[in-house]
Structure 1
Amino acid sequence: MGKIDLIDAHVHLYDEESLSSLRWMDKSLPISCEHTTTKYRAQNWNQGSSPFNFKGVIYIESDVKTDLSCGLEGFTPAVRELKFVIEQSIKEEGLIIAIIPWAPVPLGPQTLELYLNKLFEDINPQQISLVKGFRFLLQDKPDGIMVSRKFIESIKWLASKNFVFELGIDFHRRGDGQYREVGVLFESVKDAAFVIDHFGKPNLAVDGFSDNFNAWKRSMKNIHEIALKNNNAVYLKLSGLLSELDKHAENLSYEEIVQSATPYFEYALQTFGLSRVIWGSDWPVCKLNGGERAFPLWRDLTMDILNSLEASDDLKQRVFSLNAVEAYNIHVS
């Protein structure tokens, strides 16, 4: 087969000025420095020797310091974030093919609509068209937030506008509680599109992972069945597992990482099917536990696992690009 088209469906970007606005950033982190489109292209796009044909990236909001209690003023960091990403898309033309900004989903549709008007102010329609959905990161939020009436009504409103909702939940640190709430959300909202980030963050311990794995499988199976029953299009993003390893990738052999990750890939493909899994790098966060070569490590590991599972060329093309095109309703040349 020829080169496979690749869309990186999970990328964060920020410059030096943006560092202080990131809720999770610490000066001691090795990624506490500029990570822009220019740096992404320089580190990860090697068209000549790569078996992939890079088609672009999907920007996912980077958890800036917003405040739900301060009205529109509390959303200013997210408005600035979108303008920065738009500037980056112009600077490296063709690299950013879709954007998923932050949104105040827990506050209900009325506030959400006011926010979108503010968010898109002074941005031309062509640039606005890059926005394909929204995320309100849930992995560290209090229990109950995503089953509140206003949250559910916001998701219904976004679905009515054909926006996808990006679900950032965490089985590793929060157990199955967030998955149960996702089940309630899927039962309450019909005919909507969702993308679950990072396999739903399972507990990927290299030694003795079977109990964690089986618990994650049960929870994932449950929310998938509920989604199907309510005609929700739910995609699972094959990303983020390097962050869930119990050791730094450089302290593990490649074979150990493959052995640990393969059951999760296999279950994801069996459960969600070849049309509902999407590849993403989680760059630059992936470098925290994967090292500077985390992007090619994750990309190549994905391909090796797909080969070991005897995936067809069609499946590989779907995982690395076509499913992202469908999930986010994007157009690539």
Structure 2
Amino acid sequence: MEKIDLIDAHVHLYDEENLSSLRWMDKSLPISCEHTVTEYLVQNWNQGTSRFNFKGIIYIESDVKTELSSGLEGFTPAVRELKFVIEQSVKEEGSILAIVPWAPVPLGPQILELYIDKLFEDINPRKISLIKGFRFLLQDKPDGIMVSKKFIESIKWMAKNKLVFELGIDFHRRGDGQYREVCVLFESVKNATFVIDHFGKPNLALDGFSGNLEAWKRSMYNIHETAVKNNNAVYMKLSGLFSELDKHAENISYEEIVQRATPYFEYALQTFGPARVIWGSDWPVCKLNGGETAFPLWRNLTMDILNNLEASDDEKQRVFSINAVDAYNIHVN
């Protein structure tokens, strides 16, 4: 088999100055230190690999501290975050293929446009073209927010402007309530592109595993059917499962992780299809429950599962790069 092109479709970046702006960061965490593009390349690609050709990354906003009620001033951390990522794209030219910043989606299109004008100030137009969508993380937000009128109107605005909405929800901790709201959102918006992060964050804990899997399958089926009915392009991102394990990955055998993860891979491929699943590492967050070798572990685990599922070479290429190119409308050399 020839080498597979790889686009890492879920990477977070931050330097020392940005640490205090991250909503989830704690000084005790092992990733509470600089994580730049250069650091990503050194940690994950310095040794090379016989299986893959690295093509670049897609940057996903890192959940900075923003305040919806404080106007444009409340969005300052997100603006600062983007400028840092743009600097990174200059420093390691060609490594960042797309950027998905934070956006005040619940406030409606009018505020969204004002924010984007502020976001793009003093940025080279060529670099602005890297921005392919937006994310407002929903996994920890109150019920009802994604089905509010202004939220829906913002997503319609994104669809009109051919921008992706990155959908971060949490089945593990929030149950299927958020999934039902996703279906309402999909029924309210037509012709939009969505990327569901981290398999929708299912529960991979061993206790109650089977029941959690079946409930997740039902929700995924409903989401897919609703999306198809409303002509929405929905991609499932194969990422983030280490965070849903009940133990640190180093305390679970490789074979057991494969066993737990395989049903989720299999159902995602069956339900969304090989042309609608995308690989991402969730670096450096993946290291919290996956250890320092989480990146190669997840990359190799994905390939081994795809081999076990008898995926074709074309399907593997789609998972690791082609589908990301299609979803985010990017160009790769």
- In the superposition, the TM-score normalised over structure 2's length comes to 0.99
Paired position in structure 2 for 1:233 = 233
Provide the rounded CA distance (Å) in 1 between the counterparts of 2:46 and 2:3: 13
The reply to whether residue 66 of structure 1 matches residue 66 of structure 2 is yes
State the Cα distance separating 1:49 from its structure 2 match: 3.3
The answer to whether the Cα contact below 8 Å between 1:60 and 1:100 also exists between their aligned partners in 2 is: yes
SS at match of 2:10: strand
Q: Following TM superposition, by how much is the alpha carbon of 1:50 offset from its aligned partner in structure 2, in angstroms?
A: 3.3
Partner of 1:302: 302
Q: Kindly report which structure 2 residues correspond to 1:165-204, keeping only aligned pairs within 5 A, or say none.
A: 165-204=165-204
2:97 equivalent in structure 1? 97
Equivalent positions of 1:226-305 (< 5 A) are: 226-305=226-305
Q: CA deviation at 1:206?
A: 2.8
Do 1:147 and 1:185's aligned partners in 2 also have CA atoms closer than 8 Å?
yes
Any unmatched runs of 5+ in structure 1? none
Task: Verify the 8 A CA contact 1:12 1:61 in the aligned structure 2.
Answer: yes
How far apart are the structure 1 equivalents of 2:308 and 2:114? Answer: 49
CA distance in 2, matches of 1:24, 1:332: 32
Q: How does 1:1-333 map to 2 (within 5 A)?
A: 1-46=1-46, 48-333=48-333
Q: Name the CA distance, whole Å, in 2 between partners of 1:330 and 1:166.
A: 16
Q: Secondary structure at the match of 1:5?
A: strand
Between the aligned partners of 2:139 and 2:208, the Cα distance in structure 1 is 24
Aligned structure 1 segments of 4 or more residues deviating by more than 6 angstroms: none
Counterpart code for 1:106: P
Amino acid at match of 2:260: S
Distance in 1, matches of 2:186 and 2:49, equals 43
Is contact 1:186-1:230 (8 Å) kept? yes
CA distance in structure 2 between the aligned counterparts of 1:74 and 1:34, rounded to whole angstroms: 24
CA distance in 2, matches of 1:48, 1:242: 23
- Decide which moves more: 203-212 or 313-322: 203-212
Quote how far apart the aligned CAs of 1:288 are. 0.3
| Whole-Å separation in 2 of the counterparts to 1:322 and 1:47 | 24
What is the rounded CA distance, in whole Å, between the counterparts of 1:208 and 1:258 in structure 2? 17
Letter in 2 for 1:146: M
- Cα distance, 1:94 vs. partner? 1.1
Local SS of the residue matching 1:275: helix
Percent identity of paired positions between Structure 1 and Structure 2: 85
Q: Distance in 2 between matches of 1:194 and 1:49?
A: 31
Measured on the aligned residues, the alpha-carbon RMSD in Å equals 0.8
CA distance in 2, matches of 1:127, 1:47: 29
Deviates more, 1:38-47 or 1:294-303: 38-47
Distance between the aligned counterparts of 2:259 and 2:295, measured in 1? 19
Task: Give aligned pairs, total.
Answer: 333
Shift of 1:75: 0.5
Please report how far the alpha carbon of residue 287 of structure 1 lies from its aligned counterpart in structure 2 after TM superposition. Answer: 0.2
CA distance in 2: counterparts of 1:51 and 1:93, whole angstroms = 24
Counterpart-to-counterpart distance in 2, 1:59 and 1:228: 27
Structure 1 distance, partners of 2:183, 2:146, is 10
